[in-house]
């Protein structure tokens, strides 16, 4: 059964069969990190596509969290300072991880194991923290969750 869907401010991509939902405040770099992950994946021969940028519809279908793109923005991603570009995309995909801002120093620089984040309506995902200036964000994410891209 499908729960009602709701809209969140995020960017969703799929690498292989793994869906990633980049969440965080405006200006954190969600779109650029997602774009960089897609291009990194393509360079190493993995399938990688944009699902949605800026606005993502979230719902639950059976045991999966589903991300969907609004019809009006399919295949478009905003790269701040560069503009809107077209990307290979798919309009709907299951997502397995929420990617959220990390902290480089201080007491929160080592996030807790098993961290989860609620998206809304009781839907939550495992969270992976990532610095916005990570030079190779996909490599960092794959180090934390080796199943990404499989």
Check if the beta carbon of residue 78 is closer than 8 Å to that of residue 29: no
The tens digit of pLDDT for each residue in 59-75 reads 999 999 999 999 999 99
List, in order of start, the domains of the chain with CATH numbers: 6-143 (3.40.50.300)
Overall average pLDDT of the 47-54 stretch: 97
- Model pLDDT, residue 106: 83
Kindly report the pTM of this predicted structure: 0.94
Length of the chain: 150
The tens digit of pLDDT for each residue in 75-86 reads 999 998 899 999
**Among 45, 46, 43, CA closest to 20:** 46
Which two three-digit tokens encode residue 24? 């965080």
Task: Identify the helix (H) or strand (E) that includes residue 72.
Answer: none
**pLDDT band, residue 3 (cuts 50/70/90):** low
Enumerate residues 6+ apart whose C-beta is below 8 A from 44: none
């Amino acid at each position: 059964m499908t729960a009602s869907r709701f809209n969140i401010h995020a960017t969703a991509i799929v690498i292989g069969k793994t869906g990633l939902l980049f969440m965080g405040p405006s200006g954190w770099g969600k779109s650029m990190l997602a774009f960089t992950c897609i291009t990194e994946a393509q360079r190493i021969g993995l399938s990688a596509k944009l699902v949605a940028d800026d606005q993502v519809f979230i719902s639950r279908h059976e045991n999966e969290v589903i991300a969907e793109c609004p019809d009006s923005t399919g295949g478009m991603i905003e790269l701040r300072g560069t503009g809107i570009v077209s990307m290979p995309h798919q309009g709907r995909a299951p997502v397995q991880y929420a990617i959220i801002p990390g902290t480089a120093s201080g007491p929160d620089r080592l996030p807790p194991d098993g961290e989860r984040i609620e998206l809304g309506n009781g839907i939550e995902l495992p969270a992976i923290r990532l610095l916005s200036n990570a030079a190779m964000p996909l490599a960092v994410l794959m180090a934390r969750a080796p199943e990404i891209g499989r």
